[in-house]
Amino acid sequence: MNELALQAIIQHYRTSEEGLVEILREASRQAGYLTPEHLAFIAKALHLPQSQVHSVASFYSLISLKPLGRHVVRFCQDAPCHVVGGRAVWEAVQAALGIGVGETTPDGRWSLLTTSCIGACSVGPVMMVDDDIHGNLTPESVRDILARYDKIGGAA
Amino acid sequence: MIRTTLLISGDPQSLARGANEVRLAVEAELAFYGLTGEVRVGFTPDVSRTDILPFITVYPEGIVYGPLSPQDGAFIVEEHLYKGRVVEHLLAPPEILSGKIVRLPGKEGKLYAEKRVILRRVGVIDPYSIEEYIADDGYFALGKALTEMTPEQVRQVVKDANLQGRGGAGFPAGLKWGFVASEPAMPKYIVCNADESEPGTFKDRTILEGDPHAVLEAMAIAGYAVGAHEGWIYIRGEYALSKERLERAIQQAEEMGLLGDNILDSGFSFRIHVHAGAGAYVCGEETALLESMEGRRGIPRIRPPYPTVAGFRGKPTVVNNVETLANVPPILLHGANWYKGIGTERCPGTKVYTIMGDVALTGLIEVPMGITLREVIEAYGGGMKDGKTFKCAQTGGASGSIIPPSMLDTPMDFATMRQYNAALGSGALLICGQDTCVVDLAYVLMRFFQTESCGKCTPCRVGTQRIVETLERLRSGQGMVDDLQRLEETARDILSASFCGLGQAAPVPILTALEHFRAEVEAHIQGTCPAGVCAMNAGAEAAVSVNHNYFVKTAS
């Protein structure tokens, strides 16, 4: 992301400390992840110490400081999804992508993260792929869902 | 073609009370409106209630009216069948089940009708249309407050109604408003806590997505009541749709002059802004939420001072949950006495529950406070899924308690649950069948807190980690004899020494699991998982070697 795009995000929210969380989240969403240069730019624009910007950026789960794959899977690992068969689905997702939690596939297509509850518990187990929520997952259905987004390479 | 069937109670008692006259009046009115060919009228012998005779059930809607006079019957034909409007004042009163709770007569073969107060527009109106909201009494409560009531009177009604905070703690909203109103510092703020992240909870999302104006209206009323002119909605970052609908609603309300300067020519001005979070459970804690809104890590502040004294930007601030706020317009419109007529004496009103887990039907219901878990499962959940038997439930989200079958018939409201050392919390009801392992469940719950602990204070940061490690050992068959004691001690330390509500609630699942399912936890130490969930063999070798060493030591 270039400085112009970043400046536009800062302008859209507030050019003050109070806008920091929203600016970081939106910038991270658009850029995929935030580099030290991004953080320095935001710190300067908001007249904040870089340490504060980094501390906020590293706190929230929707702000990423490391590169993620083209598609990000966020699998809900909380109790309501767990009780209705989430564990088997979780294993199927890992097998389908061939990676474990926090990892990115070597071809850069996929990253696999876990998430806390996303409020879709009546259709659990649930995962988010990018911005989409998929519910009522079964170990059999996850491969088809993932394949709709991109090539998957893991074990069948 | 028949489109509607109208059944009139035709048992002897109903006939004695004039059911036949009602039927004649209904048929005459149907003929007057030319509806005779479309509506079938019949008597029904099936009557389980005697307090509403004679009554009429209109199908397919399944709406029950009663008790009725012939004039009432004619009026129902005109209003309901000809004009298509439900006649509110003739609806049958809720059925009284166990003395404390109510159930509305419902649709045949479907879920029992609920008592919808705050969800009544959800799924009925278009959330993008302010016109539909207004047509359904929307912004009338705000108009009433601004034109007919003083701020003191508004606060008094909310206080009289005994509206209790639906975020989980059940703190009286009227008191909170009073605290802020009495603070001299200006400006003051209204903050709506829409950072709904409690596992198993999606009630606020449903309200925000289905009826966003209700929250805006309530915030403006709260602002008027306490002397605030600015409101902020802190919505969790994952709720993109709710945010979009709220922003659209705010824009519409401003265009119509229902938010902004000089609302309805009353001289009162109120603006609302939306602030989205970025993924952190702890931001649901009100002081962490304020920190996040001010551009910092979501780490709780020390209390006191409470937000009512020094909240957003250091000024007096009301922080109310979405569901709490959604209760306010109906209370203002219908009065405190009406509100107190719903629910239990100590906890009036309705509660929105989310039902999930091993029940046939999962989803969301709004019912009066005081319903029992058994009724939730049987009436709304459609019974246990696949013939499973009930083993335990987890109420109130992750920070709630694990409750055993013996509490199935406990009326659920804030006060009663506290009495039983359980929590109603956010209203999440996770129902677990016999194939759920309590140790495994507790492990998942504690892992949540370990992940979401903000790290500020040691008891929560380290304590949750230690409990997760211990439970991990137990579920892999590597449990040690003193693990029970270790779990209990660590949990009590977290409970007593944590800085904020997150830490103070975190040990509740493990403590309640130990209280009600101790034998099952002990079985894990002995190397078996009674539910057959935990892969006990994973640690079999290690456990054996521990025993072996032990014997070697004693032998030497």
**pTM summary value:** 0.81
Same domain, A86 and A19: no
CATH of residue A117's domain is 3.40.30.10
Measure B200 CA to nearest chain A CA, in Å: 5
- Whole-number percent of chain B with pLDDT over 70: 91
Which pLDDT score is estimated for B121? 84
- Please give the angle made by the CA atoms of B514, B516 and B519, to the nearest 5 degrees: 70
Beta carbons of B444 and A79 less than 8 Å apart: yes
Could you tell me which chain A residue has the CA closest to the CA of B435? A83
Which pLDDT score is estimated for B94? 61
Instruction: Kindly state the average pLDDT of the residues B53-60.
Output: 83
Which pLDDT score is estimated for B552? 35
Measure B116 CA to nearest chain A CA, in Å: 19
Which pLDDT score is estimated for B423? 79
Closest CB from B292, B297, B362 relative to A122? B362
Evaluate whether residue B111 is within a structural domain.
Answer: no
Could you tell me which chain B residue has the CA closest to the CA of A46? B295
Instruction: Kindly state the average pLDDT of the residues B26-52.
Output: 80
Same domain, A127 and A104: yes
Place of tokens 């009433």: B144
Judging contacts by C-beta atoms under 8 Å, the chain A residues touching residue B278 are: 21-22, 24-25, 60-63
CA–CA gap between residue B321 and residue B169 (Å, rounded): 10
- Please give the angle made by the CA atoms of B38, B40 and B41, to the nearest 5 degrees: 140
CATH of residue B357's domain is 3.10.20.600
Quickly state the pLDDT bin for B113 (edges 50, 70, 90): low
Evaluate whether residue A32 is within a structural domain.
Answer: yes
Which of B414, B433, B452 is at the close of a domain? B433
Q: What is the pLDDT of residues A111-130, one digit of tens each?
A: 999 998 888 888 889 999 98
Distance of CA B403 to CAs B6, B281, B359, Å?
Answer: 43, 23, 16
Query: In this structure, are strands B189-194 and B317-321 parallel, antiparallel, or unpaired?
Result: parallel
Evaluate whether residue A90 is within a structural domain.
Answer: yes
Beta carbons of A63 and B279 less than 8 Å apart: yes
Size of interface A-B (CB pairs under 8 A): 135
CA–CA gap between residue A93 and residue B221 (Å, rounded): 48
Same domain, B176 and B258: yes
Same domain, A47 and A7: yes
Same domain, B53 and B15: yes
- Structural tokens at position B550: 């032990």
Classify B423 as helix, strand or coil: coil
In DSSP notation, chain A reads --HHHHHHHHHHS-SSGGGHHHHHHHHHHHHSS--HHHHHHHHHHHT--HHHHHHHHTT-TT--SS---SEEEEEE-SHHHIIIIIHHHHHHHHHHHT--TT-B-TTSSEEEEEES--S-GGG-S-EEETTEEE-S--TTTHHHHHHTTS---S--
Evaluate whether residue A156 is within a structural domain.
Answer: no
Beta carbons of A117 and B356 less than 8 Å apart: no
Which of B90-99, B215-224, B236-245: highest mean pLDDT?
Answer: B215-224
Which pLDDT score is estimated for A124? 85
Domain tally, chain B: 4
Same domain, A37 and A83: no
CA–CA gap between residue B148 and residue B110 (Å, rounded): 42
Instruction: Supply the range of the domain harboring residue A83.
Output: 71-147
Ramachandran assignment for B357, one of left (phi > 0), alpha (psi -120 to 50 degrees), beta (any other): left
- Structural tokens at position B462: 């380290």
Quickly state the pLDDT bin for B49 (edges 50, 70, 90): low
pLDDT higher than 80, residue B193: yes
Instruction: Kindly state the average pLDDT of the residues B67-86.
Output: 91
Query: In this structure, are strands B4-9 and B39-44 parallel, antiparallel, or unpaired?
Result: parallel
Closest CB from A22, A115, A117 relative to B276? A22
Q: What is the pLDDT of residues B262-292, one digit of tens each?
A: 999 999 999 999 999 999 999 999 999 999 9
Could you tell me which chain B residue has the CA closest to the CA of A130? B238
Evaluate whether residue A123 is within a structural domain.
Answer: yes
Mutant choice from B232, B233, B234, B238 vs A, greatest count of A C-beta within 10 A: B238
Q: Output DSSP code: residue B77.
A: I
Same domain, A45 and A88: no
Mutant choice from A121, A126, A128, A131 vs B, greatest count of B C-beta within 10 A: A121
pLDDT higher than 80, residue B414: yes
Which pLDDT score is estimated for B98? 30
Judging contacts by C-beta atoms under 8 Å, the chain B residues touching residue A56 are: 295-297
Closest CB from B197, B356, B364 relative to A124? B356
Beta carbons of A121 and B428 less than 8 Å apart: yes
CA dihedral angle for residue B249, residue B250, residue B254, residue B257, rounded to 10 degrees: 70
Measure A127 CA to nearest chain B CA, in Å: 12
Instruction: Identify which has the larger pLDDT, B541 or B186.
Output: B186
Which of B42-56, B179-193, B368-382: highest mean pLDDT?
Answer: B179-193
Q: Please return the burial class of B485, using the count of CB atoms within 10 Å of its CB with bins 0-12, 13-18 and 19+.
A: exposed
CA–CA gap between residue A121 and residue B427 (Å, rounded): 13
pLDDT higher than 60, residue B336: yes
Which pLDDT score is estimated for B434? 94
Could you tell me which chain A residue has the CA closest to the CA of B434? A83
Tally of CB atoms within 10 A around B535: 13
Could you tell me which chain A residue has the CA closest to the CA of B199? A117
Beta carbons of A80 and B357 less than 8 Å apart: yes
CATH of residue B460's domain is 1.20.1440.230
Beta carbons of A82 and B201 less than 8 Å apart: no
Quickly state the pLDDT bin for B367 (edges 50, 70, 90): confident
Mean pLDDT of chain B: 88
- Which range has the worst mean pLDDT, B32-36, B41-45, B226-230? B41-45
Same domain, B259 and B197: yes
Could you tell me which chain A residue has the CA closest to the CA of B283? A60
Same domain, B323 and B363: no
Evaluate whether residue B113 is within a structural domain.
Answer: no
Same domain, B527 and B442: yes
Same domain, A34 and A81: no
SS (H, E, C) B482-508: CHHHHHHHHHHHHHHHCCCHHHHHCCH
Maximum CA pair distance of chain A?
A: 51
CA–CA gap between residue B344 and residue B347 (Å, rounded): 5
Closest CB from A18, A25, A56 relative to B237? A25
Closest CB from A16, A83, A128 relative to B436? A83
Measure A40 CA to nearest chain B CA, in Å: 16
Instruction: Kindly state the average pLDDT of the residues B3-29.
Output: 86
Closest CB from A16, A59, A62 relative to B298? A59
Which of B68, B93, B118 is at the close of a domain? B93
Same domain, A50 and A82: no
Beta carbons of A25 and B276 less than 8 Å apart: yes
Evaluate whether residue B50 is within a structural domain.
Answer: yes
Measure A66 CA to nearest chain B CA, in Å: 16
Instruction: Identify which has the larger pLDDT, B135 or B464.
Output: B464
Find out whether B380 and B112 touch, Cβ atoms under 8 Å: yes
Place of tokens 């109790």: A79
Closest CB from B297, B430, B452 relative to A55? B297
The residue type at B281: Y
Evaluate whether residue A111 is within a structural domain.
Answer: yes
Handedness of CA B547, B548, B552, B553 (dihedral sign): negative
Which pLDDT score is estimated for B50? 65
Evaluate whether residue B125 is within a structural domain.
Answer: no
Same domain, A116 and A92: yes
Which pLDDT score is estimated for B151? 97
The torsion angles phi and psi of B432, rounded to 5 degrees, stand at: -120, 135
Which of A121-125, A127-131, B120-124, B250-254: highest mean pLDDT?
Answer: B250-254
Name, in order, each residue with C-beta under 8 angstroms of B506's C-beta and a sequence gap of 6 or more: B399, B446, B449, B453, B460, B463, B464, B494, B498
Same domain, A82 and A47: no
Evaluate whether residue B41 is within a structural domain.
Answer: yes
Closest CB from B280, B362, B430 relative to A61? B280
Which pLDDT score is estimated for B361? 83
Instruction: Kindly state the average pLDDT of the residues B352-377.
Output: 88
CA–CA gap between residue B403 and residue B441 (Å, rounded): 12
Measure B367 CA to nearest chain A CA, in Å: 18
In DSSP notation, B387-413 reads G--EEEEEESSTTSEEE-GGGTTSB-S
Evaluate whether residue B18 is within a structural domain.
Answer: yes
Same domain, B416 and B470: no
Which of B305, B334, B363 is at the close of a domain? B334
Same domain, B178 and B326: yes
Domain tally, chain A: 2
pLDDT higher than 60, residue B99: no
pLDDT higher than 50, residue B103: no
Which helix (DSSP H) or strand (DSSP E) does residue B541 occupy?
helix B540-555
The residue type at B527: G
The residues that bridge with B43 in the sheet, in sequence order, are: B8
CA–CA gap between residue B556 and residue B553 (Å, rounded): 5
Same domain, B382 and B457: no
In DSSP notation, B170-182 reads --BHHHHHHHHHH
Evaluate whether residue A88 is within a structural domain.
Answer: yes
Distance of CA B223 to CAs A29, B137, B220, B505, Å?
Answer: 34, 20, 5, 31
Beta carbons of A59 and B281 less than 8 Å apart: no
Evaluate whether residue B105 is within a structural domain.
Answer: no
- Structural tokens at position B487: 């779990």
Evaluate whether residue A79 is within a structural domain.
Answer: yes
**For chain A, what is the radius of gyration of the CA atoms?**
17
Ramachandran assignment for B503, one of left (phi > 0), alpha (psi -120 to 50 degrees), beta (any other): alpha
Evaluate whether residue B363 is within a structural domain.
Answer: yes
Same domain, B72 and B181: no
CATH of residue B287's domain is 3.40.50.11540
pLDDT higher than 50, residue B101: no
Q: Output DSSP code: residue B512.
A: H
Same domain, B136 and B188: yes
Same domain, B356 and B324: no
Instruction: Kindly state the average pLDDT of the residues A3-10.
Output: 93
Instruction: Supply the range of the domain harboring residue B404.
Output: 350-433
Same domain, B295 and B161: yes
- b vs e for A10-34, b when ≥16 Cβ sit within 10 Å of the residue's Cβ? beebbeebbbbbbbbbbbbbebbbb
CA–CA gap between residue B54 and residue B51 (Å, rounded): 9
Instruction: Kindly state the average pLDDT of the residues A10-32.
Output: 93
Same domain, A29 and A94: no
Which of A57, A83, A98 is at the close of a domain? A57
Q: Please return the burial class of B299, using the count of CB atoms within 10 Å of its CB with bins 0-12, 13-18 and 19+.
A: buried
CA–CA gap between residue B503 and residue B276 (Å, rounded): 24
The torsion angles phi and psi of B102, rounded to 5 degrees, stand at: -130, 150
Beta carbons of A25 and B278 less than 8 Å apart: yes
